[in-house]
Amino acid sequence: MAQSFPATRSCPFAPPPEYEGLREEAPLVRADLPGSRVWLVTRHAEAQQVLSDPRISTDPATPGHPMAALSPAPVSEEERRARARFQQGQFIDMDPPLHGVYRRMLIPEFSVRRIREMRPVIQEIVDRLLDDMLKQGTSADLVETFGLAVPSMVICRLLGVPYADRDFFQSRTRRMVGAAPEAPQDSMHAAMEIWDYLDGLIAAAEREPGDNLVGRLVTARRESGELSHDALVGMTFLLLVAGHETTANMIPLGVLSLLRHPGQLAGLCADPGGWPLAVEELLRFHSIVDWIAFDRVATEDLEIGGQAVRAGEGIFVLGASANRDPRAFERPDELDLRRGARNHVAFGYGVHQCLGQNLARAELEIAYRTLFERIPGLRVVGDVEELPFKYGGPIFGLHALPVAW
C-alpha cells in the first residue's frame, strides 16, 4: 500500500515518525499524491544518487514532475503571465546546462574567500542586534529580534539595499517568512512586494551599478548579454528566499537545541573552535527543508537502490530521513555536536547543492557563538511543548521563541 504524502512532524527534534519505518522498509517507497503516485527516497546513499544523477530532472515543466500535483494551477491568463515573469531567473528549478550558466555567475560571490571577507560584516550585524536586545531589557522573542533579523540585515548588505529602505525590506521578509500557515496569502503578498522592490533595485543598478552583488551582476550581464532584466530580478529574489528563510528558521531552532544540551553547550563555550562542527550537526539533526527542495522526475528509465524507476515518474528525496539514516550516521537520533557530519544532505547534493552554504554556515556559527558569549544566562521562557512550532509549514522552525536572561 502506498504512503500518504507529505507527512507531518509531531516532535521539534525529530522527523515525521513515519520516516523510520519507511527507511527500514526500503530505500524507495511509493506514495500517493492527488491524482498520481511518486517515489519517496528514504536513505542517505540513494538520496545522494538521486540528487546527482543527470538523468533526473528538477525542472517543474518536465512531464511527470511531482510538484504539479501539489501546486494549484494558475486560474487566469493574467496570473499565468505574472507567474512566468516571477519565475524567470530562479535557476533552482532549471536543469543543466542552463542551470550552470546562472550558477557560474554567482559562484565567485559565495566562495570561501568572499565569505571569509564578509565575516567581519556579519559579526558587526550580530553584535548590533544583540546590543539592541540587551538595551530593551531582560527578555525578547528570539525569532523576531534575532533569528529573522540576522539574515535579513546580511542580505541587505550583500545586495546593496539602501539604508533608507531597510525597514521596508526587512519588514516584508519577516512577513514572507513568518506568515501563519492559515494565511498563506500574507506570505505571497509580501513576496510580490519584495519582487517589485527588487525590480526597482535592479533598474537603479542598471543605471548606476554599485560595488555589491547586484551591481556586479548587472555589470557582468552588460558584458555578456546573457540575462534579461526579469531574470536578474528572479535570481536576486531566489538568493533572498533561499538564503534568508532557511537561516532565519535555523538560528532559533538551533539555539533551542543547544539550550537542551547544556553540557555540550558548555564545551563549545570553553572551546569556540568547535562551533563549525556544531553547526554541521545542527543542520543534519534538524533538516528543516526535508523534501520541499528535493522534488525530481526521472527523464530515463533507471535503477535506484535496486528499484526500477521509469521515465516520467516523480521523486521526492526525504532529506530529514536521509540525515537520520544509521547506515550513514552512528546513533543518528542523538545530537552530537562534535560529530562532524559534513556528509549530510541539508544543503542538498550534486550540481544543485546550495550555492549559499558557505554564507549560511558563517551566519549560523557567528550568531550562535556570539549569542552565548554575550548572554551566557540565556533561557527559554515557558514549556518547550507549548512553543509555536511550524508543524504545518514546508520549512520547519518556530513562529516565536520567548527567552530571558
How is 194-214 classified by DSSP, letter by letter?
Answer: HHHHHHHHHHHHHHS--SSHH
For residues 362-371, b (16+ Cβ closer than 10 Å) or e, as one string? Answer: bbbbbbbbbb
Burial class (CB in 10 A: 0-12, 13-18, 19+), 14: middle
Omega within 30 of 0 (cis) for the link into 97: yes
Average pLDDT on 233-262 reads: 92
Q: Where are the alpha helices (DSSP H) in 260-324?
A: 262-270, 275-286, 319-322
Average pLDDT on 166-180 reads: 75
Which CATH homologous superfamily contains domain 3-404?
Cytochrome P450 (1.10.630.10)
- The pLDDT, as a whole number, for residue 226 is 78
Average pLDDT on 78-86 reads: 75
Confidence class for position 163, pLDDT limits 50, 70, 90 = confident
Q: 255 is written with which cell numbers?
A: 539555539
What percentage of the chain carries pLDDT values higher than 70? 96
Predicted TM-score (pTM) of this structure = 0.93
CB neighbours of residue 280 within 10 Å: 22
CA 390 to chain centre: 14
- The pLDDT, as a whole number, for residue 368 is 98
From the list 176, 223, 175, 234, the residue with the least C-alpha distance to 201 is 234
**pLDDT averaged over the chain?**
91
* 227, 236 contact by CB (below 8 A): no
- Tens of pLDDT, residue by residue over 208-225, are 999 999 999 998 877 777
Domain ranges of the chain: 3-404
Average pLDDT on 76-86 reads: 74
- Tens of pLDDT, residue by residue over 104-157, are 999 999 999 999 999 999 999 999 999 999 999 999 999 999 999 999 899 989
